[in-house]
Each structure stands twice: as C-alpha cells, then as structure tokens.
Amino acid sequence: MAFLDNLNTKTRFGDFSIAPGDTKLTPGQIKTDLLSGLTVALALVPEAVAFAFVAGVHPLVGLYAAFMVGLITAVFGGRPGMISGATGALAVVMVALVAQHGVEYLFATVVLMGLLQIFAGVMQWGKFIRLVPHPVMLGFVNGLAIVIFLAQLTQFKVPGSAEASGHGMAGGEWLSGMPLYLMLGLVGVTMLIIWLAPRVTRAIPAPLAGIGIVAAIVIFFGLDVPRVGDLASIEGGLPPFHIPAVPLTWETLQIILPYAVILAAIGLIESLLTLNLVGDLTNQRGGASQECIAQGVANTATGFFGGMGGCAMIGQSMINVKSGGRTRIAGVAAALFLLAFILVGSSIIELIPLAALVGVMFMVVIGTFAWNSLKILRKVPLTDAFVIVLVTVVTVMEDLAVAVVVGVIVSALAYAWNNARRIHAKTYETPEGARVYQVQGPLFFGSATGFIEMFKVDTDPREVIIDFADSRVVDQSALQAIEAVAGKYQEAGKRVQLRHLTHDCHKLLTKAGHLIVDSDDDPDYEIATDYGVRTGILGGH
C-alpha cells in the first residue's frame, strides 16, 4: 500500500515524513496539531455543505454535525488523529428518509443510530473488524481514493446552477473555456505547493500552505473562480438543543429503525476501518470498542442539536495525520475552528477558492491509493487479486459497507474452499491386518463430504483405524461426518477405532460408542465441546 509500505519506519505525504510511535505533548507538537486542525477545518466546510445537499437538508445541518461529531469523537474516540464529521456514505442513505418523512425524522433516526452504536461498543463488537482481510483493505482504500476523486469533480460545475436544480453541486453545468482552465491551473498550483512546501519549511502543514497561498492569489488578483461561498452561506449561530418533533409511537419506530440500523452499521464500518488505517500510520493498536461508543455518543448528541450525524472521515483523517496531527488536540481544534467559521468567520472562509481545497483532496487521493497493489495483482493468489478488484469496484459503484461485507464473504468462502480441498488420508496396513486412515487437514463443514468419501467401507478389512493426529475436528458438521462413517462400518459388521480424537469429541459422539479407543496422547483443544455445549445440537451433553 502507498502509505503502508514502510510501516515500521515512516510514511510520506509529498515529502512530509511521519515517524510512528507514541507522540509526546510538546509545545512544537501542540502548534503542529493546532495548524493541522485549522487545515482540516477548512477542508471540512465544503464537504459538510455538499453532503447536506446530498441528504436534502440545510447546509447548517451538515456543519453542525461536522462540529459536534468531530468534537466528541476527538475527545473520547479510540484513536488520536482521527477526524469525524458528516460523510457522503451516510448522506446517500438519509436522502430517502428526508424526502419521505422530513428532517425531524432524520434527527430521531440519528439519535437511535447513536444508541445502537453505543450498544455495539458495550458488547465489544468492534473487535470483529479484525476479520477484514488485507486484500479487502487494499480494495477499500483504492475504492475510497476513487470515490474521493470523483467527489471533487462536482466542484468543476458552474456555481448556482446545481443549487437551482435541488442537488447541490452534484447537478448543474460543467465549467468550460477560461473558467475551467483557471480552475485547473489553481488546483495544479495547490498540489505543487503541497509537494514543494516541506522542502522549504515545515513550520506549517503543507496543505495549509497550499490553501493559504492560492487563496491569497485569488483574492489579491480578484480572480473569478468558484469559492466556498458559492456553495452556500455558512453563517449561523450555536447549534440549539432540539428534541426531534416526531410522535413517540410504534409506527415512528418502524419508520426510523431500518434506517438507523443501516446508518449505524455503515458508520461503524467506516470508522473502524479508518481506525485501522490511522493506527497503521501512527503505530497504534486497539480502541475499537471505545471508538464505537464515542461514535454512538456523538451521534446521539448530534441528533438532539439539529445535526445529520456522521462517522470517521478517511480523507480528512489522512490530511490531519499527514500534516503532523498526532494528539486529540488536532481533532478538537478542527471542530472548534469549524464552529468559529460558522459564528464569526463565515465572510472570510467563503472567499477561499474551491480549487485550493480540491488540490488538497487530490493530494489525499494520491497518498491514499495503494499504488503498490497494481504491481502485486499478478503475484498474489488469484482469489486475493479478485477480492482487491471486487472491493474497489463495489466501493465505487455502491458504498463502503456493502463493499467490505462482500469482500469479507468472498474471502471467507475462498478460505473455506481452500481448506476443504486439503482433506485427505494416508492409508497403510498394520501387521495385524487392520487398515489405518491417517487423516490430513482440518475437518469442518466444508470438508465433511470429502472426509466421508475417503473411506472404502465395502472393501476395507474388518478392523479399521482412523487416526486424527494430523487433523483437527472443528465443528458439529465434522462430528456428524465421523458418526456417519462409524455408522457405515458398524452396519457392515466392521470394527472402527478412532485414534487421537479429543476426549471432548469422545463424549459428544453419540453413535460411535464402544468403537472409540482412547489414547493417552489424545489432544485436547475443546473446540467441538465449546460448540456443542453452546448450541445444544450435539448428543452426550
């Protein structure tokens, strides 16, 4: 991966080095965190406004969500350096709810969404994110980079025409002629400054330098280019406390619960994947359950303050981390700067050219895309290469949550199939005339049929020994397969000895009975016992 290639040494954004490990809170680090927070806040403004348009709500609803979710998760989240706010992945789900039932139902849904996320954190379900395989992560970051890139293209629309159509910057006519060339030129200048700035000074984050210099050029020369203010006015007051005005009835719950479950799942998946990516960059581990609870508390509070809810923002998190933000101060600063923009700084922020912010996000795209994955596609197993491409495509065509679930399912099925093919047995005859089947490979639901087909009941001698020393009985399907084989030999009037089978398996096998011969060196891994006791499926207990 582009930013994980040298995980134990450093990661680079342009020429900005990131040393892993714990970060000490020094005056220099505090300054870096504050400047990084300012950079993130500037990038949050057009994102929050655009996502509010996507969801069909007022821009302040998106800005309030970015402020509140960002502040609470920065203080209580599971990973310093992460940035949270209103996201497109959630906005596309919200649009149908808002269109059919209104914004008050959205606020109620966000509250319920947060409660579900808190429950997930208390139950420690966040740990299941470790089941996401590396090929899925590669496909995820590649797809995400493409999504971020495509999202920036909407800024190349004629300001105002999109809003008139009711779709924000997603609609409208494309820029053309000199306005387009000027926009592209400013984007290129921003990217060049971000690339060159670390070679000149590291006193301020490179993205902030790019935004500041390009904004100064545009304002000084009075260039006619799209600006933040062309999206919408961001002026407003403090977010007011507001109980969602919906009837507390069973019908209301039926309306909001499906949306809340989907939003909670998408929010946690995106947040936990961001947790992993930021952890890889900063060499930190753990915090999944804490992040779930923090996201839940943030969304619950946001729903009561007129916000559209949110989750971790990978693009902004990458800006923060690669700008040097390492502590919770950066996230808190980003949220407070955003609030300051809303309260007192809207007139200044609205002058910033969109080209500068697009240039920053394009650099994020370059740093996020796993360029190395293009080289390894021909070297990794075909299944892994397929998963990388599949997750990338689904992320772009559908959404992040669907892509990750699809990738995990395909990877799990491929793993099960590969292990199912490993089951086989070495056979030999003992001096006493018994035939020994020395089972090789794991015995589980996927290999159970192959295990049964290995035995030649009709042609085997009267004495058969099945040795599990090189195998492992995994689940109830495996025990059922053993019973099926033992039953066939019993019906044929032949005696079977099961060697090196765990003592717990002995107890759970109901048909083998006297056919089992215990051994002093039988293994004891208790997987089957745990499964049988939990499910109550197996006999003997």
Provide the 10 A C-beta neighbour count for residue 374: 11
Instruction: Assess whether 377 and 464 both reside in one domain.
Output: no
C-beta separation of 63 from 342 below 8 A: yes
One-letter amino acid identity for 345?
G
Q: Helices 476-491 and 527-535 sit at what angle, rounded to 10 degrees?
A: 100
Q: What is the structure's pLDDT at 117?
A: 96
Residue 7 covered by a domain: no
- For 279, the domain range is 26-386
Residue 446 covered by a domain: yes
Contacts of 453 (CB under 8 A, 6+ apart): none
Residue 447 covered by a domain: yes
Q: What is the structure's pLDDT at 18?
A: 38
One-letter amino acid identity for 396?
V
Instruction: Assess whether 174 and 242 both reside in one domain.
Output: yes
Residue 72 covered by a domain: yes
Domain boundary among 386, 408, 435: 386
Residue 292 covered by a domain: yes
Residue 396 covered by a domain: no
Q: How many domains does the chain have?
A: 2
Q: What is the structure's pLDDT at 159?
A: 65
**Positive or negative torsion for Cα 97, 102, 105, 107:** positive
d(CA 364, CA 396): 17
Nearest to 51 by CA among 5, 92, 111: 92
Per-residue b/e over 316-343, b at no fewer than 16 CB within 10 Å?
Answer: bbbbbbbbbbbbbbbbbbbbbbbbebbe
513 exposed, middle or buried (CB, 10 Å; 0-12, 13-18, 19+)?
exposed
Q: How many angstroms separate the most distant Cα atoms in the chain?
A: 99
Instruction: Assess whether 227 and 290 both reside in one domain.
Output: yes
Q: What is the structure's pLDDT at 203?
A: 83
How far is the CA of 233 from the CAs of 143, 220, 341, in angstroms? 31, 22, 11
Per-residue b/e over 176-213, b at no fewer than 16 CB within 10 Å?
Answer: eeebeebbeebbebbbebbbebbeeeeebbbbbbbbbe
d(CA 492, CA 264): 56
Contacts of 138 (CB under 8 A, 6+ apart): 1, 370, 373, 388, 391
d(CA 438, CA 468): 6
Contacts of 303 (CB under 8 A, 6+ apart): 107, 108, 109, 110, 111, 112, 113, 114, 244, 309
Instruction: Assess whether 86 and 187 both reside in one domain.
Output: yes
24 exposed, middle or buried (CB, 10 Å; 0-12, 13-18, 19+)?
exposed
Residue 399 covered by a domain: no
Domain boundary among 386, 406, 438: 386
Instruction: Assess whether 140 and 231 both reside in one domain.
Output: yes
What are the pLDDT digits (tens) for 336-358?
A: 999 999 999 999 999 999 999 99
Residue 199 covered by a domain: yes
Query: Residue 96 is encoded by which pair of tokens?
Result: 């149908």
Instruction: Assess whether 305 and 376 both reside in one domain.
Output: yes
Instruction: Assess whether 253 and 182 both reside in one domain.
Output: yes
Q: What is the structure's pLDDT at 11?
A: 36
Instruction: Assess whether 199 and 288 both reside in one domain.
Output: yes
Query: Residue 411 is encoded by which pair of tokens?
Result: 């990877």
Instruction: Assess whether 344 and 462 both reside in one domain.
Output: no
One-letter amino acid identity for 256?
I
C-beta separation of 360 from 207 below 8 A: yes
d(CA 342, CA 71): 15
Q: What is the structure's pLDDT at 510?
A: 56
CATH at 525: 3.30.750.24
Instruction: Assess whether 380 and 502 both reside in one domain.
Output: no
**Which parts of the chain register pLDDT below 70?**
1-23, 159-172, 504, 506-541
Instruction: Assess whether 161 and 300 both reside in one domain.
Output: yes
C-beta separation of 308 from 57 below 8 A: yes
Instruction: Assess whether 324 and 448 both reside in one domain.
Output: no
Helix (H, G, I), strand (E, B) or coil at 333: helix
463 exposed, middle or buried (CB, 10 Å; 0-12, 13-18, 19+)?
middle
Q: What is the structure's pLDDT at 310?
A: 93
Report how far Cα 180 is from the mean position of its chain's Cα atoms.
35
- Report which DSSP code applies to 128: G
Start-to-end C-alpha separation, the chain:
49
Nearest to 488 by CA among 521, 454, 519: 454
Nearest to 361 by CA among 328, 317, 411: 317
